[in-house]
C-alpha cells in the first residue's frame, strides 16, 4: 500500500517551494499528495499549479483533524505551520497513530521547528559545535533553560512532539531551517522572514542597528537546498530506509554559516541606496532604537533579538536521513 502525504504550509516560503518543486523530484512510492489550504483561492492554485489535492481542515477541531487524516489514509505529514506553540501538533500525531492502525503502515511526522531553539538564547551549548547527530542531543535540548520565555516554550514544544510521537508510535523527524535566502517559488510568500524582520527594524528605527553579542554566527541555506532536505527525508521514508527519528531524528538544513553583522551591513547599504534610510552603516543597538523596533515588530524589547540576532553553534552533520 502506498503512502498518502499531507503538506501543511503550502502557501508559505518553504512549503510553497516544496510544492513548486514536487513534480520534478521523481519521488515514487506514494499514492496521493494532499495540501492543507485555508481558502478557495489557495485550493484552486494548489490543484491547478501542482496537481495536489487541496484539503481544508478546521485545525481547532481535533475530531476534524482525526477524520481528515484517517479517512484519507494519510501516513506522512510535513508540518510547516507552527514552530513555537503546542497547539495542533498533538492532534496530528494522534490522527497519524489512528491511521497507522487502519492502514497497517508506519506513519511519519516531519516537524518543522526553528533554529533559535538551538541558540544561546535558548540555553544551547555555544562553547563547541552542537552536532545534529549527537547521540544525546535530545537530552541536551530537553535540559535547556532559555533566557527568553517564548524560546523556552518553543523548546518545550519540540520535546513534547518527540515524546508524544514515541508514545503513539509515530516516527517524528525534527527539521530546522535556518536563515534561508533566495526567492521562494510557490504561489504565496516568496521572501525569507529574517530579511523582512531586519528591514522592518531598520525602517522603524531609521537606520540599521545590530546587537553587540560576541560571535553572532548563524547557519544559512538557500531555499532550494532547504526544500531538498525535505525531499531527501521523504525519499528515505518512501524507500523504506527508516530515516533517523524520535530522539535521534534531528536535522539542520544548513550549507554554511554567516555573521549577523554581515547581514546587517548588507541590508544597511541596500536600504540606503534605495533612499529608505540615510546611513549605509550599521550601528550598535541602543534603548531608543530597541523600543521603536519592538513596537514595529509587535514584540517586547527583550524579544527583538530573537528575530534578528543570537549566537548559534548547531551544526549539520546528519549525512544521510
Convert 57-82 into a string of H (helix), E (strand) and C (coil): CCCCCHHHHHHHHHHCCEEEEEECCC
pLDDT band at 193 (very low <50, low <70, confident <90, very high): confident
As a whole number of angstroms, the distance between CA 155 and CA 122 comes to: 7
Average of per-residue pLDDT across 163-183: 97
Whether 1 has a pLDDT exceeding 80, the answer reads: no
Predicted local distance difference test score (pLDDT) of residue 201: 96
Which phi-psi region, left, alpha or beta, contains residue 100 (left: φ > 0; alpha: ψ -120 to 50)? Answer: alpha
pLDDT, one tens digit per residue, over 96-114 is 999 999 999 999 999 999 9
**Looking only at Cα atoms, what is the longest distance across the chain?**
62
Whether 312 has a pLDDT exceeding 60, the answer reads: yes
Overall pTM surpassing 0.85 (yes/no): yes
As a whole number of angstroms, the distance between CA 177 and CA 111 comes to: 11
Indicate the CATH number of 3-183+220-255 among 1.10.287.180, 3.40.50.720, 3.40.50.2030, 3.40.50.300.
3.40.50.720
Could you count the other beta carbons within 10 Å of the beta carbon of residue 143?
A: 11
As a whole number of angstroms, the distance between CA 162 and CA 290 comes to: 35
pLDDT, one tens digit per residue, over 10-52 is 999 999 999 999 999 989 999 999 999 999 999 998 999 899 9
As a whole number of angstroms, the distance between CA 306 and CA 218 comes to: 12
Given the C-alpha cell 563547541, which residue does it identify? 128
As a whole number of angstroms, the distance between CA 265 and CA 48 comes to: 41
Average of per-residue pLDDT across 84-92: 95
pLDDT band at 213 (very low <50, low <70, confident <90, very high): low
Instruction: List all residues 6 or more positions away from 264 whose beta carbon is below 8 Å from its beta carbon.
Output: 198, 208, 209, 210, 282
235 CB-side CA count, 13 A: 12
Predicted local distance difference test score (pLDDT) of residue 318: 61
Convert the chain into a string of H (helix), E (strand) and C (coil): CCEEEEECCCCCHHHHHHHHHHHHCCCCCEEEEEEECCCHHHHHHHHHHHCCEEECCCCCCHHHHHHHHHHCCEEEEEECCCCCCCCCHHHHHHHHHHHHHHHCCCCEEEEECCCHHHEHHHCCCCCCCEECCCCCHHHHHHCCCCCCHHHHHHHHHHHHHHHHHHHHCCEEEEEEECEEECCCCCCCCCCCHHHHHHHHHHHHHCCCEECCCCCCEEEEEEHHHHHHHHHHHHHHHHCCCCCCCHHHCEEEECCEEEEHHHHHHHHHHHHHHCCCCCCCCCEECCHHHHHHHHHHHCCCHHHHHHHHCCCECEECCCCCC
Predicted local distance difference test score (pLDDT) of residue 310: 84
What percent of the chain stands above pLDDT 90? Answer: 80
pLDDT band at 203 (very low <50, low <70, confident <90, very high): very high
Burial of 320 (0-12, 13-18, 19+ CB in 10 A): exposed
**Could you tell me whether strands 179-181 and 217-222 are parallel, antiparallel, or unpaired per DSSP bridges?**
parallel
> Hey, where are the domains in the chain?
3-183+220-255, 193-215+258-308
Whether 319 has a pLDDT exceeding 80, the answer reads: no
pLDDT, one tens digit per residue, over 127-147 is 899 999 999 999 999 999 999
Amino acid at each position: 500500500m502506498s503512502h498518502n502525504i499531507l503538506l501543511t504550509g503550502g502557501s508559505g516560503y518553504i512549503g510553497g517551494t516544496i510544492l513548486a518543486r514536487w513534480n520534478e523530484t521523481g519521488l515514487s512510492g506514494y499514492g496521493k499528495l494532499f495540501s492543507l489550504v485555508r481558502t478557495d483561492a489557495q485550493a484552486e492554485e494548489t490543484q491547478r499549479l501542482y496537481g495536489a489535492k487541496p484539503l481544508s481542515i478546521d485545525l481547532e477541531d481535533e475530531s476534524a483533524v482525526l477524520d481528515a487524516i484517517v479517512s484519507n489514509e494519510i501516513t506522512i505529514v510535513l508540518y510547516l505551520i507552527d514552530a513555537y506553540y503546542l497547539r495542533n501538533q498533538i492532534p496530528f500525531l494522534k490522527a497519524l497513530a489512528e491511521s497507522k492502525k487502519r492502514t497497517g503502515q508506519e506513519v511519519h511526522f516531519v516537524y518543522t521547528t526553528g533554529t533559535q531553539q538551538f541558540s544561546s538564547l535558548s540555553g544551547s551549548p555555544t562553547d563547541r559545535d552542537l552536532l545534529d547527530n549527537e547521540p544525546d542531543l535530545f537530552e541536551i535540548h530537553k535540559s535547556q533553560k532559555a533566557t527568553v520565555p517564548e524560546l523556552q516554550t518553543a523548546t518545550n514544544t519540540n520535546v513534547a512532539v518527540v515524546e508524544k510521537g514515541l508514545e503513539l508510535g509515530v516516527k517524528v523527524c525534527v527539521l530546522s531551517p535556518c536563515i534561508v535566502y533566495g526567492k521562494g517559488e510557490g504561489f504565496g510568500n516568496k521572501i525569507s522572514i529574517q530579511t523582512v524582520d531586519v528591514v522592518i527594524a531598520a525602517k522603524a528605527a531609521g537606520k540599521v542597528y545590530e546587537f553587540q553579542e560576541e560571535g553572532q554566527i548563524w547557519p544559512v541555506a538557500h531555499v532550494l537546498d532547504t526544500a531538498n532536505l525535505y525531499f531527501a527525508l521523504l525519499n528515505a521514508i518512501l524507500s523504506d530506509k527508516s530515516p533517523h527519528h524520535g530522539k535521534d531524528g534531528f536535522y539542520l538544513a544548513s550549507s554554511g554559516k554567516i555573521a549577523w553583522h554581515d547581514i546587517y551591513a548588507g541590508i544597511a547599504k541596500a536600504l540606503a541606496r534605495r533612499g529608505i534610510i540615510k546611513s549605509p552603516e550599521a550601528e550598535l543597538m541602543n534603548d531608543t532604537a530597541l523600543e521603536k523596533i519592538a513596537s514595529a515588530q509587535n514584540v517586547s524589547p527583550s524579544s527583538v533579538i530573537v528575530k534578528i540576532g543570537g549566537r548559534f553553534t548547531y551544526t549539520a552533520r546528519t549525512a544521510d536521513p
